Structure 1
């Protein structure tokens, strides 16, 4: 694959992360009784295939397939984009770290979609779901921090911004693990959304740069 094409395909993989946020909105809008509570419901509740009480929360997600397909799609495209972007990372060591963490993150997200947590699910399957969620969020947080270090030699401002975002996401993850939070839906999104926002924004910026270069030619 030509370098320019590789970069463009990588950017498309990451820019497609926008579908994840659209899927959350569409799936949440399908809840009727009760309505989806963005502050108290977890993202995973959107993927529950059966209605009822799940860990003390009433869940009813008739559009669960939209969310679960979105999880799996994001889980495939994020590491694919990282692998395609890898040659553009100057330091080979950080290149391998970033691709590896993107893989952990992607497998985790796909696992969340393939094994939802829902009313009536067995303890083993519930454990698989939470392990996948830990990989998705933890791998994403570490990917941001690794990207910050990798960007430092060539893109100082982007490195600092990425590091700050990664630190905030990691702090939110630690808060969820170490204490009972009043609004878990909000804290979970502060922990989990940043890496997808970052990859999506990166993909869009790269695509816009390519379009600008084409227009200049």
Structure 2
């Protein structure tokens, strides 16, 4: 299967998602005043909270994010770009139950970003937590499952990259939910749990975009090869 124009557009969507997310996080965080935003102490969600005040009964902290519209818009755009990348490369990455299951779980992950942007934690905590579960739970499982893609598929070519991202994300999620910062702080550990998927997608997008036309011909399913 050739990496056609649709697949390349999907790859570029993946490449764009991480810079947008990180830039919005940085700009929004820099707008915090008294207290300043800490990537080690504060959660990503704090950037999107729409009200100022003490937040979180488990880890009380004062949250006031004047740039929350930018962060929430970036979360939505990140969701759209990651989902578009998945859908536009859907057939290109391979076939089979493992590939399709991984793609489905990762698509649910993108829904988590959308929920987080549409429903900030201090607006609808339940839907926001559901979004976090989709990202750090189902999404990270999808990343690990993607690492099991057959080597005969295009997705299987980058198994080591995918496995490293999946294991890192899973370890980060376990430690974050266990409230263990391990020197990074809980805010830092949350990023270890959340960022591997978009970073993996960005790297995969670059690799796919650089793939010459026709070079995916050997990424056929075993059934096709046997014919």
TM-score (norm 2): 0.82
Higher helix share: 1
Query: Which deviations, in whole Å up to 9, do the C-alpha atoms of 1:143-171 show, x marking residues without a partner?
Result: 22122111544576720231122112101
Query: Which deviations, in whole Å up to 9, do the C-alpha atoms of 1:77-132 show, x marking residues without a partner?
Result: 212211211212333212321221122101111000111113xx4xxx21221111
Whether the 8 Å CA contact 1:34–1:58 is kept in 2: the answer is yes
- The aligned counterpart of 2:42 is 41
What does residue range 85-164 of structure 1 map to in structure 2 within 5 Å? Answer: 85-118=89-122, 121=123, 125-150=124-149, 152-153=151-152, 158-164=158-164
Query: Which deviations, in whole Å up to 9, do the C-alpha atoms of 1:38-90 show, x marking residues without a partner?
Result: 10100010001111111111111111111101111111221221121121233
What does residue range 1-217 of structure 1 map to in structure 2 within 5 Å? Answer: 4-17=4-17, 18-55=19-56, 56-118=60-122, 121=123, 125-150=124-149, 152-153=151-152, 158-181=158-181, 183-209=185-211
RMSD between superposed Cα atoms in Å: 2.2
Structure 1's 42 and 153: CA in aligned 2 closer, same or farther, altered over 3 A? same
Structure 2: runs of 5+ lacking an equivalent: 216-227
Whether the 8 Å CA contact 1:48–1:116 is kept in 2: the answer is yes
Whether the 8 Å CA contact 1:48–1:117 is kept in 2: the answer is yes
List 4+ stretches of structure 1 deviating above 3 A: 151-157, 179-182, 208-211
TM-score (norm 1): 0.86
Deviation at residue 209 of structure 1 after TM alignment: 3.9
Mapped to 2, the partners of 1:101 and 1:81 lie a distance apart of: 14
What SS is found at the alignment partner of 2:54? Answer: strand
Structure 1's 80 and 94: CA in aligned 2 closer, same or farther, altered over 3 A? farther
